[in-house]
């Protein structure tokens, strides 16, 4: 019976979020001996020190703190005005932390929002932080991606259907030459002025046409496939050309049980920000690519109120 209860509690504390009901039902009936046995059998959470008592491991305490906060963070993000939400996501991305994850947040906001949504985020950033997004990106990002990120954040793209076919074809050829040359040297294109200009100024409709021309030029390969050595530029291209493919991939990575806390955090951000956008398409892509529905994956990995809230948001697109 004790081993069964310990197994229930271990599952309640594992994954994404906390199964509050299972935890309360189990812990509420435990006496001193049950708690001691749990500490002894949970070496991934407790360790015996030189004084022969089982103590919490610091990393486990930090991990559980993050797991308890997941539901609250999801609710806060969902109820925040989209402009403020994006402004705060950018601000968080520019604070100290995991560099790769920070860059991805900036790319997502700059490349997957409409022109008016991005402009709104920039206005909200002014109001909240008395700075512009562009100046803070320029001053906080010292990596090669800075030039591209400032240009993407500054964009106000035309969103209509009009474009010139011959220009799209010409710029597809330019990109193909630049990618081929950089690929042979394994050098970055992220500071190439022409590449930055095309990605940060052209309408998304124009870019879709350009990507189709690129495929014809490159024997069926897409731009993102040909940028497998330049990962941040690859992410920017995917967010502009095929955000559903991009979000599907990072959702799968964030749903791994052994993902670190920063990667797990991506799950909340994507479900909340895409729930009323392209979640239906993301769910279809996820099922086609991984053979399991996004709902089933969340059911198997996530816990408690956090899981229930994510599933509720996913159901909005049914």
Distance, CA of 78 to CA of 295 (rounded, Å): 18
Q: Quick one: which of 138, 134, 113, 116 has its CA closest to 125?
A: 134
Band of pLDDT at residue 2, cut at 50, 70 and 90? low
CATH class of the domain defined by 157-241: mainly alpha
| DSSP helix, strand, coil percent of the chain (3-state; round to 5) | 70, 5, 25
pLDDT in tens, 250-303: 999 999 988 888 899 999 999 999 999 999 999 999 999 999 999 999 999 999
Distance, CA of 3 to CA of 53 (rounded, Å): 20
Band of pLDDT at residue 238, cut at 50, 70 and 90? very high
Residue 41 CA: distances (Å) to CA of 6, 10, 30, 47, 155: 8, 10, 15, 10, 55
CATH class of the domain defined by 244-318: mainly alpha
The mean pLDDT of 5-33, rounded to a whole number, is 82
For the chain, the domains span 2-46+55-70, 157-241, 244-318
157-241 and 244-318: identical CATH topology: yes
User: Are 94 and 102 a contacting pair, CB within 8 Å?
Assistant: yes
- Check whether 34 has a pLDDT greater than 90: no
Band of pLDDT at residue 96, cut at 50, 70 and 90? low
The mean pLDDT of 84-89, rounded to a whole number, is 97
Distance, CA of 37 to CA of 26 (rounded, Å): 13
User: Are 249 and 255 a contacting pair, CB within 8 Å?
Assistant: no
Q: What is the pLDDT of residue 56?
A: 76
User: Are 18 and 304 a contacting pair, CB within 8 Å?
Assistant: yes
Average the pLDDT over each of 28-32, 176-180, 281-285 and give the range with the smallest value.
Answer: 28-32
């Amino acid at each position: 019976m004790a081993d069964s209860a310990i197994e229930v509690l271990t599952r309640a504390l594992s994954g994404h979020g906390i199964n509050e009901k299972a935890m309360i039902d189990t812990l509420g009936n435990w006496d001193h001996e049950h708690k001691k046995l749990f500490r002894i059998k949970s070496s991934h959470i407790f360790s015996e020190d030189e004084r022969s008592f089982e103590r919490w491991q610091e990393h486990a305490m930090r991990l559980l703190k993050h797991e308890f906060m997941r539901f609250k963070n999801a609710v806060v993000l969902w109820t925040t005005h989209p402009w403020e939400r994006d402004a705060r996501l950018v601000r968080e991305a520019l604070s100290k932390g995991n560099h790769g994850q920070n860059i991805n947040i900036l790319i997502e906001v700059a490349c997957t929002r409409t022109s008016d949504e991005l402009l709104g985020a920039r206005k909200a950033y002014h109001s909240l932080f008395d700075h512009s997004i562009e100046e803070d990106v320029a001053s906080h990002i010292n990596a090669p991606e800075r030039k591209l990120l400032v240009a993407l954040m500054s964009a106000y793209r035309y969103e209509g259907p009009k474009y010139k076919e011959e220009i799209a074809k010409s710029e597809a050829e330019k990109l193909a030459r630049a990618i081929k040359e950089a690929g042979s040297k394994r050098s970055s294109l992220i500071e190439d002025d022409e590449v930055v200009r095309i990605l940060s100024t052209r309408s998304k409709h124009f870019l879709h046409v350009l990507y189709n021309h690129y495929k014809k030029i490159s024997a069926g390969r897409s731009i993102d496939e040909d940028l497998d050595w330049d990962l941040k530029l690859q992410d920017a291209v995917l967010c502009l050309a095929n955000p559903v493919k991009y979000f599907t991939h990072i959702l799968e990575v964030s749903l791994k049980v052994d993902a670190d806390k920063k990667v797990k955090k991506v799950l909340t951000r994507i479900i909340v920000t895409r729930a009323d956008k392209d979640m239906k398409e993301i769910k279809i892509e996820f099922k086609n690519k991984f053979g399991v529905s996004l709902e089933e994956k969340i059911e198997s990995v996530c816990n408690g109120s956090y899981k229930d809230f994510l599933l509720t948001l996913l159901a909005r697109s049914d």
